[in-house]
């Protein structure tokens, strides 16, 4: 649950929402510049607003009705809702694909159902819907004109969502939601994920490790496309990605123990991550030069997957557009 209600979000400025709810992204925005920061904050507020329509709704019926109204507003390109109307203005201003936002809404709305992710394919499909699409829209927000950029941005979004899922297994279980694939945890249910016994800890630690390794692959692929962004934007996105990735690194240091306490990255740790990232960027070829080889350039959103090498992301997202 968030700190602010959807009604409160509608009434306050985008930067205030970003600062209150998107701590890692707010940190990275300090390196982005006023123009892009304002746009990114508007996109964040829109996505968060949609997410909270489900997470903070009084009932599933009310939430579904709100989502229907949003879809109608998208079709009409008009809304009386302040946040939705600003989102429509942002779409027009940045030339965003409405289909990406529609796919995000589909993913968010899936949380109105009983959430029990069964396997890797379902996990990646969900991550693409709620986070990969945000990466695609961020390309337009940051004035990246190259059509290849979105493939890498989607990978970064998916990586961050996979990290988020690993960190919040207990939090989500308390809401009766299980995103970690059932086939990785031997179909453990909510009580076992909230407070796993010694036997179940072996299963969940292994599952978290596997999903974080999958996230690592997506981080690496995503960062290959940073050079498609304007110079200042690529620094900010690198910092955001590395800050979020630090969550997974800290989980690994804690032997993948998510249930004892929620992992956070402190401000001193953010500074260390930021400095290391900026120094490394100077010597990173792909930070300055976009990918050219076929081995680096995905023909679609596909990416080799750790948990099941025969499955590719293209198979998961082929029905998304």
The predicted pLDDT at position 310 comes to 35
The predicted pLDDT at position 58 comes to 84
Mean pLDDT over 181-188 rounds to 97
The predicted pLDDT at position 318 comes to 37
* pLDDT tens-digit map of 247-290: 999 999 999 999 999 999 999 999 999 999 999 999 999 999 99
Model confidence band, residue 309 (pLDDT cutoffs 50, 70, 90): very low
In terms of CATH architecture, what is 114-321? Orthogonal Bundle (1.10)
Model confidence band, residue 88 (pLDDT cutoffs 50, 70, 90): very high
Q: Read out DSSP for 45-88?
A: HHHHHHHHHHHT-S-HHHHHHHHHHHHHHHHHT--SSHHHHHHH
Measured distance CA(173)–CA(176) in Å, rounded = 5
* pLDDT tens-digit map of 118-136: 999 999 999 999 999 999 9
Domain ranges in the chain are 1-97, 114-321
Measured distance CA(205)–CA(198) in Å, rounded = 11
* pLDDT tens-digit map of 4-48: 565 566 557 899 999 999 999 999 999 999 999 999 999 999 999
Model confidence band, residue 49 (pLDDT cutoffs 50, 70, 90): very high
Measured distance CA(180)–CA(178) in Å, rounded = 6
| pTM of model > 0.75 | yes
Measured distance CA(84)–CA(78) in Å, rounded = 8
């Amino acid at each position: 649950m968030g700190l602010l209600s959807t009604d409160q979000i509608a009434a306050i400025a985008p930067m205030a929402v970003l600062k209150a709810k998107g701590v890692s992204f707010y940190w990275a925005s300090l390196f982005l510049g006023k123009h892009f920061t304002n746009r990114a904050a508007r996109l964040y507020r829109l996505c968060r607003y949609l997410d909270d329509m489900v997470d903070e709704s009084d009932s599933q019926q009310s939430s579904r009705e709100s989502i229907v109204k949003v879809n109608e507003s998208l079709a009409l390109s008009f809304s009386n809702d302040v946040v939705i109307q600003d989102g429509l203005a942002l779409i027009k201003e940045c030339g965003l694909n409405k289909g990406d936002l529609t796919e995000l809404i589909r993913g968010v709305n899936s949380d109105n159902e009983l959430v029990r992710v069964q396997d890797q394919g379902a996990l990646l499909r969900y991550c693409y819907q709620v986070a990969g699409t945000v990466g695609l829209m961020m390309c337009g927000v940051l004035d990246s004109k190259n059509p290849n950029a979105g493939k890498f941005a989607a990978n970064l979004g998916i990586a961050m969502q996979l990290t988020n899922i690993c960190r919040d297994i207990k939090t989500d279980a308390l809401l009766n939601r299980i995103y970690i694939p059932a086939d990785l945890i031997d179909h453990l249910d909510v009580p076992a994920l909230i407070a796993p016994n010694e036997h179940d800890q072996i299963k969940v630690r292994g599952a978290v490790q596997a999903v974080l390794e999958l996230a690592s692959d997506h981080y690496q692929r995503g960062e290959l496309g940073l050079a498609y962004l304007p110079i200042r934007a690529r620094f900010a996105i690198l910092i955001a990605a590395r800050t979020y990735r630090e969550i997974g690194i800290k989980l690994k240091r804690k032997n993948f123990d998510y249930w004892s306490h929620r992992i956070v990255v402190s401000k001193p740790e953010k500074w260390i991550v930021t400095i290391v990232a900026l120094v490394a960027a100077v010597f990173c070829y792909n930070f300055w030069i976009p990918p050219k080889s076929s081995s680096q350039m995905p023909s679609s959103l596909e990416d080799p997957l750790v948990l099941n090498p025969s499955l590719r992301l293209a198979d998961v997202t082929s029905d998304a557009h």
